[in-house]
Structure 1
Amino acid sequence: MRARKVVIRKAGGYEQLHLEEVNQDSPGIGEVRVATEAIGVNYADCVIRMGLYASAKEYVGWPITPGFEFAGHVDAVGPGVEDLAPGARVFGVTRFGGYATHVTVPRHQVFTLPARLSMEQAAGFPTVFLTAYYALFELAHPRPGANVLVHSAAGGVGGALLQLGRIAGCRMVGVVGGTHKVETARAQGAEVVIDKSREDLWSVAKKAAPRGYDVVLDANGPSTLRDSYKHLASPGKLVIYGFHSMLPRTGGRPNYAKLAWDWLRTPRFDPLTLTNDNTSVLAFNLSYLFEQRAVLEESMAQLLGWLEEGKLVPPPVKSFPLDAVADAHRALESGGTVGKLVLVP
């Protein structure tokens, strides 16, 4: 059968996002093919397009179809899949390949669509909540009452972190980059919201937690990493899951001189200093974890349980047609969005 997908043949700007018609293979043993109705857009997809995403180079290379998450209905199942039938409403994750009208993945990467979620909400749910879950519960392990600082708190992962931190009984402090994002962060669970567009970030952060933060969650990179570490309590944990400030907000192409400068000013954490400060620095990349079946299934089971109980709500969603993928990337890179962006085939 014929399908459509976004193909990037070489690193570059928005002009490298090509929508192409391709032949769609039948699912193999233990696989499920999903006809997508919504596809999640993540900042990592933009980094892939720029040619700077390490695991994309390692697992796929060029050409590549970005996309980590999707929702739709089962179109076909391969041999050995007996608990899903064509027509079932599902959502799931994929290590690349999501920007397509049809996605084929192993059965364990597909989940029944929750009644509480629309297709668009479901497509924007897995990546941000799995990222937040892994950061908080697999790495940071905050105790009830812990002071937790979340950068980019009105974004997809930031909002998920605020909600999960609230479930864990933590005191959540969110940082946002514009006044229009304050209420979004507050609604997701931030007790204190710092609007760094009109407040001095670190003086307000210190006032909100004078003894320091038990956990700081930072995807900004060199613009905040050094100060994030300085504001840890003893003991405290800095969790790193991105480097957004190294990349452009306009134009869609990286500035290699800026990248080099930011690489030079990225802090290097010395083991002796960490030991003496009684602190930890942890980091991860979700795309390397999809093959960890036990972690994926356990995390999603817990997240979907909380969703069913009403303890989690999906982030606000803005939709773009699949053929407007460049507009979605442009909007996400601008830093002005809240919640999640999704593509609708």
Structure 2
Amino acid sequence: MRQVVIPRAGGYDRLTFETRPEPTPAADEVVVASEAIGVNYADCVVRMGLYASARKYVGWPITPGFEFAGTVHAVGASVTDLKPGDRVFGVTRFGGYSTHVTVPRHQVFSLPARLDMAQAAGFPTVFLTAYFALFELAHPRPGNTLLVHSAAGGVGGALLQLGRIAGCRTVGVVGASHKVEAARALGADVVIDKSREDLWRAAERAAPHGYDVVLDANGVSTLRESYRHLARPGKLVLYGFHSMLPREGGRPNWVKLAADFLRTPRFNPLDLTGDNASVLAFNLSYLFERRDVLAESMGRLLTWLDEGRITPPPVTRFAFDRVADAHRALESGTTVGKLVLVP
């Protein structure tokens, strides 16, 4: 099998390829021959050496990647409900950038009829992230108003669709004019193009009494104002810190990173109580071992997919050998939807 291996933290040149023997599954494992591999911003953070769970679970060298789609290549002795040739997709805690991925059985799902391989490979991470943020943490009520940053991205687009299912009014924020229609198509009731208007003035016009839930993966660039624009009570849900990281070059600016770290708001429990507000955060990579959460979340998502209530994000395909180009494009902030590697 062939896989991407990052020997140590760095830029795009750290994305090297190695050929290794095909894996043999343990009793409860499935080996999938990948036909498409999802690319996520977290993979770029892994490459830079800044992803905490990558250091905790793997270290260096590491093969990034959280999601894949393909055909079953082999199954372990205790796996009786899948066989070689079955079309599947799934999630993995790292190791996804490979022509063959080995995972526990509970992390693999039958390929939905509505999705091709590339769409399926780009589906689980963004929708599981959005589902956990909205339904496990925020618990919005019908009629609530949500502010969704990065609304034309993979997770942002999933949040807009799930917000519609929850009966909420959604205000999406995009960073470029070519992303406005994408956010509208995904269900945003209002779209703020922060490249053409002041973000927070527009946010106040859209929700004069504040937002019941704000979903923010930007970090320091918006975090303080996101909290300030909550309704009372309100919930701020964090799932990333993208604005602390580079848009080009592929390497962190350590001076900027340190300055942004110092500028990042610290939320005092006494202030939170007085403000009648909540700040919630999570990292999806820590949750894959929670079979109950994964089964329930994916079960509901696949039901909504089958009913046509959610649609996969638009996909841009990159050949496997162009993994560096995929990272470069994703970090630029200009992409819409998901990027997928095709072995």
Give TM-score scaled by structure 1 length. 0.99
Give the match for residue 25 of structure 2.
27
The structure 1 residue matched to 2:56, chosen from 55, 58, 62, is 58
In the TM superposition, 1:1-345 aligns within 5 A as 3-345=1-343
- CA positional deviation for 1:23: 1.2
Report runs of 4+ in structure 1 exceeding 2 Å deviation.
none
Distance in 2 of aligned mates of 1:26 and 1:279: 50
**8 Å contact 2:23–2:31 — kept in the other structure?**
no
1:17-44: CA deviation from partner (whole Å, max 9, x where unpaired): 0011111221011100000000000000
Distance in 1 of aligned mates of 2:116 and 2:193: 31
Partner of 1:84, secondary structure, is coil
Q: Which moved more, 1:200-209 or 1:23-32?
A: 23-32
1:74-122: CA deviation from partner (whole Å, max 9, x where unpaired): 0000110000010000000000000000000000000000000010000
RMSD of equivalent CA atoms: 0.3
| Identical residues among aligned pairs (%) | 77
**8 Å contact 2:34–2:71 — kept in the other structure?**
yes
1:225-284: CA deviation from partner (whole Å, max 9, x where unpaired): 000000000000000000000000000000000000000000000111110110000000
Distance in 2 of aligned mates of 1:300 and 1:271: 33
Give TM-score scaled by structure 2 length. 1.00
Q: Which letter does structure 1 place at the counterpart of 2:264? A: T
Q: Which letter does structure 1 place at the counterpart of 2:307? A: E
Which ranges in structure 2 are unaligned for 5 or more consecutive residues?
none
Distance in 1 of aligned mates of 2:124 and 2:36: 13
Distance in 1 of aligned mates of 2:341 and 2:32: 15
Partner of 2:102, secondary structure, is strand
1:136-189: CA deviation from partner (whole Å, max 9, x where unpaired): 000000000000000000000000000000000000000000000000000001
Distance in 1 of aligned mates of 2:331 and 2:285: 20
